[in-house]
């Protein structure tokens, strides 16, 4: 495994259908060569997909801050809205997004070597799968193996 000098951090959030107020959050941390260093799947609370996307980004930024504080990182998300709002090109109008937007901006300010970019959904499949695992848990997998 190559010692990381730069990180690629992929994030995704999922709320499922119909939305139940629960979100799955997926995070993939890779080194500069694309090798997976860390994956994380967890649950959050969200009523919309944009809330879930923000929560996934916040969880990833907290993970980078805790585990890789000295490394520059490119944080990749398939949420164009999150990227545009955090870049200041789009307004944050939804009341539920305002505190999430503020928290994400604060974390980005504390991590000056972290950049944010939008990628196509098809390039974010592992983070998406982890988000759905966080949403559903491992119960479906366990049912299949019985």
Say if CB 104 and CB 38 are below 8 A apart.
no
For residue 2, being part of any structural domain is answered with no
Domain count, the chain: 1
Amino acid 112: pLDDT: 86
Amino acid 142: pLDDT: 45
For residue 146, being part of any structural domain is answered with no
pTM, rounded to two decimals:
0.91
pLDDT above 50: residue 88: yes
CA distances to 24, 72, 133, 136, 145 from 142, rounded to whole Å, are: 18, 38, 12, 11, 5
Q: What share of the chain is helix, strand, coil (3-state, %, to 5)?
A: 40, 25, 30
pLDDT above 60: residue 145: no
Say if CB 23 and CB 15 are below 8 A apart.
yes
pLDDT above 80: residue 1: no
For residue 145, being part of any structural domain is answered with no
């Amino acid at each position: 495994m190559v010692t990381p000098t730069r990180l690629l951090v992929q994030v995704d959030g999922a709320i499922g259908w119909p939305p139940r107020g629960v979100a799955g959050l997926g995070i993939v941390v890779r080194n500069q060569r694309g090798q997976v260093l860390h994956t994380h799947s967890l649950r959050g609370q969200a009523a919309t997909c944009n809330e879930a996307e923000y929560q996934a980004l916040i969880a990833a930024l907290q993970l980078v801050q805790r585990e890789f504080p000295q490394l520059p990182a490119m944080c990749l998300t398939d949420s164009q809205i999150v990227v545009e709002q955090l870049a200041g090109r789009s307004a944050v109008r939804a009341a539920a997004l305002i505190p999430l937007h503020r928290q994400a901006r604060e974390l980005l300010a504390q991590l000056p070597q972290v950049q944010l970019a939008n990628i196509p959904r098809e390039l974010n499949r592992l983070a998406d799968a982890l988000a759905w695992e966080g949403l559903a848990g491992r119960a479906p997998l366990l049912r299949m193996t019985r």
